[in-house]
Structures are given as C-alpha cells and as structure tokens.
Structure 1
C-alpha cells in the first residue's frame, strides 16, 4: 500500500495537506509546525502499545519527507503522485527522524527566545495573524500569543491598534468594542494563573527569574491549552534548529 492509500485509510483523506490541516499554499514553516503538532498526538511515547498510532506516526514521517522536499512536493502538487522509491524507504527509523527534526528545547532556549522575540517584527506578524484568525477576540489572541502575560496586553492591543490605523488589518468589532467587563474577567484569569504559578514555584523551592518564567509558562499552558496548540509546541516546531534528518540511521521500525 502506498503513502496516499495509507493516508486515506488512517486519516480519512489522501490529501497530504489535508492530513496536516493546512492548504496547498502553506509555507515550509507552516508545514513543519503542522507536522509537529499532528505527529505529537500519535507519538510512540504517548501510546507505546497502540499499533495504529505508531503506524500513523510513521505515515506522517513519510508525508513530511515528501512535503519538505522541494522536488517531491512539486511533483505531488503538479501530478498528485508520490515517488515511493525515492526517499520513503521502508526501513527508516521515523522516530529518530522526528527527534532529529525536533530536538528538545532547553530552559536557556526559552529565555533567549523570549528576549529576542518580544518587540520584534516576527512578534508583530504573529499577533496580527492571530488578530485576523480570531476576528479581534482579545481572549483568543492573548491565549495564543507567545511569551505574553497580562502585563503585555496593553502593548499587544497598541500593536493591533497601530496596524488598524495603518490599514494593515481591518477593524474587527470584537476588538474595537470590547467591554470593560470582558477585560476585567481576562485580567482576573491572568492574576489567578500568576498566583498559582507562584504557589507552585514556592512548593518546588524555586527562586530564580528563569524558574519563575518556566512556572508561569507551565501554569499558563495548563489553564489555556487547547489540543496541542501550546507555547512549547509552537516554540519547538517553529524555532528548534533542524537536525540533519537525512543522516539518520536506518533500522526497521
């Protein structure tokens, strides 16, 4: 059975982009992030005794190998076929391939990323993308924004307002007419998350600023996580340096 047939059987569609929940026009980084999030749900570590989950994980690895290769992706886009004999070897260790693509990030990675990310053009583009996606709903925007706490909300709101004034994004009613009651409710949730993070930090005997950051992120993740769209998933998928996946050992999996 070929890759497309496997996708149909396991995911209900033979469209490689459809399996990842993205469009044919997706960028390389969007493909990478979507592959990470979908494959994380069926990673062998999560369900070691689930044969179908393991099979899905392997098929996702093959799918990404196609879409991440410019020549193979072009052939698939133009002809709707996959060259099974080119690089989709049956004895490749797809779990090792995955880990080479997504090495585990460290605390230092998180702190350094936050330092460079806040106030950057990349942050601006990410915030505006969330603004458009959620049609101005600040609850959803702040929940999805990377490295943001309640203290960052005025800055994020100002960033969006400036983009509206410049004509970069449309004015959504949900943003322009948000009630004070909704703002206060969001502030209370954020304050609760902060208190819980501080309590957790004390219980674990942690005291540094870096420890505080990690605990805040963990508590924020616990309170706001929806599926696998978490801070760490976004960060790892988008910013972890790719390993040399083509050099992975080949062994039967």
Structure 2
C-alpha cells in the first residue's frame, strides 16, 4: 500500500505512515520524515492536494509522536479527518483524565474503614509476614493502613492464630517482637485514637499558626515603637503641600518603573520561549505543526505588550526609553500590516535561520532594556532618600 499522507476513515494513522501499531518512536519519526520530504509544498508547488496532505501529515505526527496522545488513540481506535481537525485532538488530555475517577480524601477514608479487619487485610498480613520472615518493622512499612502504635496487638493476635493453625511458622524475629508487644498495654479503641490523632494534628497546626502570628505582631509593635521614639519629635509637624506632592511623585515613579520592569521581563520570557521552540524544531525534538502553534500563540501578545511598554515610556516622559523602543514597535506594526508576523508551517524550515536570528536580536534588546529599567528603578529608590533627583531626569 502506497503512503501518500492522506488519512481516510478506513485507514489507521499507522497505515498513513506505513508503520505497524507496535512501531517505536524512532520508526514513526523516520517514516514521517520520508513522507514529509516527498509531500513538502516546495517540491509540489502547483499541487494543492500535496499541500493539504502535508498539513494532514503534521496532525498525524502530532498524535503518534506524543506518547500520551498515542496511548489514547490506541484505546479509542481509528481517527478520521474530522476528528484530527476537531476537538478530539485538542481535548485528548481531558478525555484521558476522564477515564479515571479522581481519588478524594473521603475515598481513602472509606477504603481504610472497609479494609481494616477484613479478610483482605488478614491475607495481606500473612503474605507480608512470610515475605519478611517475621520482621515486623519491615512489615509495617509495606502493610496498607497500618500503624505500629495502634495495630501491633491486633496483628499479633492474627499471626498467633495463623501460627497455631499451621499456616505460617514462627521465627526468632517475630518471637522477640511479640514479647515486647505483650509487655505494652493495648489501645482501647484504635479507630477512635485515629480520629483523636487527626484532631490533635489540626489543633497543633492551629496553635503553630497562632504562635507565628503573635510573634509577627510582637516584632511589628517593636519596630513601630522604635520608629516612634526615633522620629517622635517631628510627629506633630505635617508636610506642606510641596513636600506632599514631591513624595507622591516619587511613589508614583517607583510604581510605574516597577510596572515597566514586569512587562519587560514578560517580553524576555516570551522571546526566550520562542527561541527554545525553534531550537527544538531544528534538533528534531518537535514537529513543525506543534512548533508553529506554540510560537504563533505568543507573537501577537508580544507585539501588544511591547507597544504598550513603548506608549508607557511616552506618557511618563521617559524620552530615552521611548526613542529606543520606538523602532521595534514600528517594525512590529509593519510585520502585522503585511501579515508576516505569524509562522507558516509550510515555510518554517526555509526561514528557521532568519526567525532564530530575529528572536536572538530581540532577546538581546529586551534584556538590555530590562537592565536599564531596573537600573533606573534602583536610582529612584536611592535618590528618594535625598533631595537631589536631577540624575533621574536623564532617563
């Protein structure tokens, strides 16, 4: 059967790639690369059907190339074209999670209540006793829902009955442990003690939180008293209007600078992630379809964030930062107007070198701008302690 990259309802995704259902990831990627080279639009420029088959091939590898999605596909069976381009692929993780019930704390407590004293517990106890040759310390580490302080006497009675019935043999380690347990008073009601232990843990936690809260309050009161004693002489004097406005401007300047630094840091993180995606694509760790989606989701938010940062520089009269950011803003606007801001999956291999160089350049620019903004924020904090703010106007 010839592989042409198409995907019909009568053919499985494995048949599309020409591999078996037990193929390894290496074999799947090898078959994918062969088809991708043959169906690439650059080699079939006038063939619209080849382009559609190439795009469909990206969707096939996005499923079989991912272990989790492939496992779900193996469970659900064949996937046709509508499924590949619809919600099934997008919601594979949700579907996979829906196959299993989420375990809650109530489920665990219910299981423990039904398990303790049951035949299953007795069977597990005997098996672990035989496995560890009567070494009870190791047995308690593997026994479900067990506590040495609460279950030792009960387990001793069960094992003694099994030894008397000839089901298991007594060992030297068990005899030593049984002798020590016999000298300890057994708990009156292990189940009630479990609830008391939980309540005691909650009480201890509440007491710890209260203690830390009181400690923080005491430290705050001490600090406040120290400040009052240090500046108490001028406590009754109120600042005049000019001093109040100056202090207000300083606080506002620091707040705006902090907002700029956060936006700049977000730009650095966004471009850095795009560089990682392109690097993984170049190293064949991702397929072009997934890489294009990951990068295109971040392009427009990056443009808007960088434009808003440039506008913020203008509104706050920071001419140096505004003039530095303006060329990048204009370049982004030009790309958007020409609809060249998104990566085309059919052209990604041809322009991968340019896209990487562009993002490395922007990454260097954003990092440099971030350093300058943080430097100015530091200056604003330092000079807010003095009356001289002249250096800040340079930025």
TM-score bracket for this pair, using the shorter chain length: 0.3 to 0.5
Q: Which has the larger radius of gyration?
A: 2
Of structures 1 and 2, the one scoring higher in RCO (CA 8 A, sep 6+) is: 1
TM-score, normalized by length of structure 2? 0.26
Q: Which has the higher helix share?
A: 2
TM-score, normalized by length of structure 1? 0.37
